[in-house]
Amino acid sequence: MNSDSLMQEALARGIVNMSAAARLLKPAVVSSLGRSVSEEAIVTSLKRIKGAYNRGALGYLRVLAKSSVEVRTDLALVSVELDPEVSAKIRDVAFKNYDAFVQISSSPNAYSLVFERSLFGYLKGRFEEEQVMEAKTELAALIIHSPEEIMETPGCIAAIYNRVGRGGINVVDTVSNYTDTILVVKMDDVVKAFTAVTDLISEARRLGGRQR
């Protein structure tokens, strides 16, 4: 249970069928204990721990309830290989066009740049063809602004990703920076993504007030 956030949420909200949950959990319980366990015993245990999850599992709702969403459309993405020459070019372009950038992130192998579509040709042209690993247009970004508690509260970002994924929306790129969570999606998906996230925040505002 401690590793299954969806089950914790369902249990805490009282929307789980205890018998069905017991049947689902039984193989793992039997494997962990090394002996046979009845479904009735698992149901009893679920009822006993429900109170603990009521108190703690939905703490993320209080954070999401105080969050808001900003949408940026007509964006592009370019991913380039990581090397000193590329780094210098990125610094130069970002300095001169600061307001046009939504995010700049890096991994051990690449930089990912998300910026206004109007810069696409210019920025892509600053790099050698072999340095460009990926280039896309027709993108949008959801920027979710949250209070500082998000940095100490488990489950917040997972809830956002889960809600967007359940809507059949692919996240093209994403980053979490201080109190902002940025999801880059296709323009065709931005309305669905916005609706999914705002519905989640609305639920959090309705349910979060009940958590103490």
Q: Are residues 99 and 63 in the same domain?
A: yes
Structural domain ending residue among the three candidates 57, 82, 100? 57
Q: Clarify whether residues 103 and 196 are in a common domain.
A: yes
Residue 12 and residue 88 in one domain: no
Q: Report which residue type is found at 103.
A: Q
pLDDT at position 212 is: 46
Q: pLDDT value at position 100?
A: 92
Q: How many Cα atoms occupy the beta-carbon half-sphere of 100 within 13 Å?
A: 19
**Helix orientation angle between 190-208 and 156-166, rounded to the nearest 10 degrees:** 130
pTM higher than 0.85? no
The boundaries of the domain holding residue 85 are 59-212
Given this model, what pLDDT does residue 48 score? Answer: 78
Helix (H) or strand (E) holding 65, with range, is: helix 59-65
User: Domain check: are 22 and 65 in the same one?
Assistant: no
The verdict on 31 and 78 lying in the same domain is no
pLDDT of 152 reads 92
As for how many domains the chain has, the answer is 2
Q: What is the mean pLDDT of each run of 10 residues along the chain (212 residues)?
A: 64 78 86 88 82 63 94 96 90 90 90 95 92 96 96 90 93 94 97 96 77 48
Inter-residue contact 132 to 122 (CB < 8 Å) = no
Same domain, 21 and 81: no
Q: Does 130 lie in the same domain as 142? A: yes
Quick one: 91 and 175 in the same domain? Answer: yes
Domain end call among 41, 57, 73: 57
Give the CATH number, domain containing residue 188: 3.30.2130.10
Distance CA 132, CA 160 (A): 30
